[in-house]
Amino acid sequence: MTIDVHGHLSPPESLRRFPMPRSLGDAEAMIETKLAAGIDLTVIGSPVGAGAMVPVPGVDNYAQTEEELARFHDWLGELVARYPHHLRAYVYVNPFGGDAHLAAVRARLEGGEFVGLIANTSVAGRYLDHPDAADFFALAAETEVPVLLHAPASPAAGTGLADLMTVEQLGRFADVTIGLACCVLGGWLERHPGLRLIGQGAGGALALLAEKLDRAWSPEHWRRDGGPGPGPGPGTATPPLPRPPSSYLDRLWVDTATPSTAAVELALRVFGRDKVLYGTDSPPLPGASVDAGLRLVDGLDISETDRQAVREGNARALFGAGLPRPVPAGA
């Protein structure tokens, strides 16, 4: 069995309003395509709620009302209830959405259809190291559900990029890298040891930057004279971490939703073989990406035990009882 922790579907209303791949509206086709490849279960969600990943003039994904989000989550829950053996869902959350929004998110998690949260790595130009994200991280830690950190439609790291494909393939990738780094440097993993954060796309380039994280925390060229600890540069706050940020990287999970074998191999080494989860980002990526992703995992130079952990075991350990057991043959 294989579990896909990263898929998306959108309601008919969103498909009518916004430009998006039609595959996002066809749950049956998604399930059939994945079953044919050996993927039994997909955890679906939307990084934009009822909005759109393609930036649309005049549309602010973060200005959705609680009523709009309630309709979206009602639809998502009904979809999971229709396909209980093959779907589970993430609740969309704006980390800066305020008390009423977070209360609604908490209530959604009480239903069995929703097994985690999906949030953006940056929100309207702000990263999640901002103090205003404190209540969001407290909620995630208290509920003990996984949080898929997904790039937004308009990533902070894409500022100045005009071409949509450059934003999609590079700006969002960079946003995941910086967004995850900010979660570490912001001290959330230190304050909440139970946080379960998943970085999409093998965590961006974060696995390459362990030493750079430590330099950001303890910059030698700004070290106080004679002092053993890190010294902040001009205009910065004293780093809140008691130990180097690279030591927190094995507290993060990442998925395999990347075409790069090298990125997944490095993720296994840096984050740990128990922290890599199979993910496709399909839909919207076409069905061919499902087979390509499985070939990537099958081609990794790891033991068969580790391969099955990436395909299924790590997801079951992370999500726990929220995921259904395999359907017996012939059932």
Output the pLDDT for position 228.
Answer: 45
The set of residues, in sequence order, having a beta carbon less than 8 Å from that of 19 and lying 6+ positions away, is: 52, 54, 56
Find, among 246, 96, 121, the residue nearest to 173 by Cα.
121
| Virtual torsion, Cα 144, 34, 32, 11, nearest 10 deg | 50
What are the residue ranges of helices labelled H in 245-303? 261-270, 287-298
Task: Tell me, yes or no, whether 328 lies in a domain.
Answer: no
Domain that holds residue 153: 2-322
- For residue 247, the domain's CATH number is 3.20.20.140
Residue 151 lies in a domain: yes
Q: Is residue 176 a part of any domain in this protein? A: yes
pLDDT number for residue 20: 84
In a domain, 121, yes or no: yes
Number of domains in the chain: 1
pLDDT tens per residue, the chain (331 residues)?
999 999 999 999 888 888 888 888 999 999 999 999 999 999 999 999 999 888 888 889 999 999 999 999 999 999 999 999 999 999 999 999 999 999 999 999 998 899 999 999 999 999 999 999 999 999 999 999 999 999 999 999 999 999 999 999 999 999 999 999 999 999 999 999 999 999 999 999 999 999 999 999 888 777 655 444 555 555 555 457 999 999 999 999 999 999 999 999 999 999 999 999 999 999 998 777 899 999 999 999 999 999 999 999 999 999 998 999 876 555 4
* Tokens of residue 116, six digits: 């985690």
What pLDDT sits at residue 232?
A: 53
Instruction: Report if residue 27 sits inside a domain.
Output: yes
Q: What residue type is 304 in one-letter code?
A: E
- At residue 250, the pLDDT reads 97
Closest of 108, 36, 31 to residue 66, by C-alpha = 108
State the Cα–Cα distance between residues 47 and 249, nearest whole angstrom.
23
DSSP state of 313: I
Q: Is residue 331 part of a domain?
A: no
